[in-house]
Amino acid sequence: MAGLQELRFPEEKPLLRGLDVTELENSDNFLLAEDTDWKEHDIDTPYGLLHVVIRGSPKGNRPAILTYHDVGLNHKLCFNTFFNFEDMQEITKHFVVCHVDAPGQQVGASQFPQGYQFPSMEQLAAMLPSVVQHFGFKYVIGIGVGAGAYVLAKFALIFPDLVEGLVLMNIDPNGKGWIDWAATKLSGLTSTLPDTVLSHLFSQEELVSNTELVQSYRQQIGNVVNQANLQLFWNMYNSRRDLDINRPGTVPNAKTLRCPVMLVVGDNAPAEDGVVDCNSKLDPTTTTFLKMADSGGLPQVTQAPIKVSACPFLQPGKLTEAFKYFLQGMGYMPSASMTRLTHSRTASLTSAGSVDGSRPQACTHSESSEGLGQVNHTMEVSC
């Protein structure tokens, strides 16, 4: 590693504040709310082109932050509010950030030709090493939502050496059963595609209330994302298989995620049961489970007051702080301020410090070593 040349990040402009609902309703403002340091790329993969936007350059051995959006969205609709939130500036200035759009889901995407076979969820995961190789990343820290969380989890299972850690929001590790499949088909006959997707993204309470946020996303999903391409992605997501993971020690030769994982879900989200089930299948010594009380279906977007362990706060500010703590647990950003979260150590591995960009050993190994700093893997949030 001594021979690696350290690259400097380009000068970055201050990130924009989180967008409110009024701005979200204006598609021009919402979709263009990125600073000009972002660069677009179309990357060849074994299963077709991937549209990617990136900011920054790889710095030594430090991982990149790589995101994957949920079905019905793209990287802008899914992550703009979160990454434009002012507190995220402290994080993004330390890492290169790479947003991946699923095939045909980006703004302005051409409609796929008749007969096009959309990649399976496994193939979507197998496209990501091409992105890692194209930009020269050593490892990535993935942030995925819904379908994107499933893709990143599958990616980590197939290519564990490329993944440093995962933040998985609204993940459902289970395939659709016949009853679920039939319900999805029936919903497709009685509802428009945007409304069908909205029931996947938002809680029933949000849909019944028809909040401004729901109305805004109904408009964006219908007008921004190519509907034919979205239908293909939606069909493939609903045809997914079980992730086939089990908690170590529960079955012989159990297969599970080897990297640190932070699971995030709102207690009223449609994906709540799936995330709880996923938590039961992961190694508790490397898993953080953040369940947000009174939260909607998109914790990385909503700004409504929520509570974690009876402590009220606003999103995505608290989600940003939880992410900071998650990074600190892997040995990154040790000096980052943690102004509103307090945490206690309930499990630890060991890690080499990574202030200089070196990779913490604890991220991929479960054994401990003497003389190295401890890393926390479970979190309690309190006032």
SS (H, E, C) 231-277: HHHHHHHCCCCCCCCCCECCECCCCCCCCCEEEEEECCCCCHHHHHH
Write down the residue that tokens 């992550």 correspond to: 79
How is residue 86 annotated by DSSP? G
Distance (Å, rounded) from C-alpha 325 to C-alpha 327? 5
Query: Contact at 8 Å (CB) between 146 and 233?
Result: no
The pTM assigned to this predicted structure is: 0.80
Look at residue 334 in the predicted model and tell me its pLDDT: 73
Q: What is the pLDDT along the chain (383 residues), one digit of tens a residue?
A: 433 333 333 333 333 334 444 444 444 444 444 456 889 999 999 999 999 999 988 877 889 999 999 999 999 999 999 999 888 888 888 899 999 999 999 999 999 999 999 999 999 999 999 999 999 999 999 999 999 999 999 999 999 999 999 999 999 999 976 555 555 555 555 589 999 999 999 988 889 888 888 999 999 999 999 999 999 999 999 999 999 999 988 888 889 999 999 999 987 899 999 999 999 999 999 999 998 877 788 988 874 443 433 343 445 777 898 999 999 999 987 766 555 544 433 333 333 333 344 444 444 333 333 333 334 343 433 32
| Residue 11: both structure tokens together | 């000068």
Residues paired with residue 265 on neighbouring β-strands, in sequence order: 291
Alpha helices in the chain (DSSP H): 21-25, 27-31, 75-84, 89-92, 121-126, 128-135, 147-158, 178-190, 193-201, 204-209, 212-224, 227-237, 272-280, 317-329
